[in-house]
Amino acid sequence: MMPAEFDVTGKVVFITGAGRGIGKGIAQVLAEAGADIALNALTPKYVEGTAADIASASGRRVVPVIADVTKADEVRRAIDTVLATFGRIDVLVNALGDSIRKPLVALPGKEGTDVSDDDLRFIMDINLTEALLCTRAVGPHMLARRSGKIINIASWTAHQGGRDMVLYTTAKTALAGFTRAQALEWAPYHVHVNAIAPGIFPDIVTSGAAHVQQSTLRAEQSVPLKRPGRLREVGLLALYLASDASDYMTGQTLLLDGGLGL
């Protein structure tokens, strides 16, 4: 029998970047554990099918919410839609993210490979700005209720930089700092803010079979546990952070990387 503290039956969860990848893995586990889910994505391409599949498998209410959560007006609209649909938001999961592999400045002999202005804006917006905007939008609701859980998806690179990943590392490190600061600010109101820092978690839908194979080989060579992570494993840690079991934890960024950052 599952401990009562892990029961999230009836909780309402809003997850950004949830059509595939880590966001989808989190949604599957939380729905399985009894939560109702609002799945966000920029387009309906993946998220509508994902929502239908999770609803069918779990028996929970799962709805897609199409919005660009790097834009403040669309974030407000998305949060209003979720509140109108479900009546409340108990958990916000800021799972949207992406990376590019480029040096900040082209290295000698590799001219033309450096970061552009568009690259800079994109990586900061999709990894950091969206979390700030979504947290700001849901904040008044959670503060008024004196209850809420916010889960940011950071990265192991927030603890150990990666070659050709300056922008991504910077954004995810800032996200970990945001997690600490926001947790301190909202702790008196019983709103908990934590983060998960995944290591290598390839997704065939996101990256394709060739990339998954490449990531698996890299994990077997570099990860102490000799394998990549499974998307469900991020979901299981998110379940802990979304549930009453984590009520004495806030401001933490939890590494889930098979020992990669050791």
The residues that are catalytic are: 168
Contact 62, 55 (CB under 8 A): yes
SS3 11: coil
* Closest by Cα among 83, 84, 39, 81 to 60: 39
* Closest by Cα among 91, 69, 82 to 191: 91
Encoded tokens for 150: 């916010």
253, β-bridge pairs: 195
Number of C-beta neighbours around residue 156 at 10 A: 21
What is the β-pairing status of strands 191-198 and 148-153?
parallel
Write the CB contacts of 127 (distance below 8 Å, at least 6 apart in sequence).
Answer: 96, 97, 98, 99, 168, 171, 172, 175
255, β-bridge pairs: 197
Alpha-carbon span 144 to 132, nearest angstrom: 19
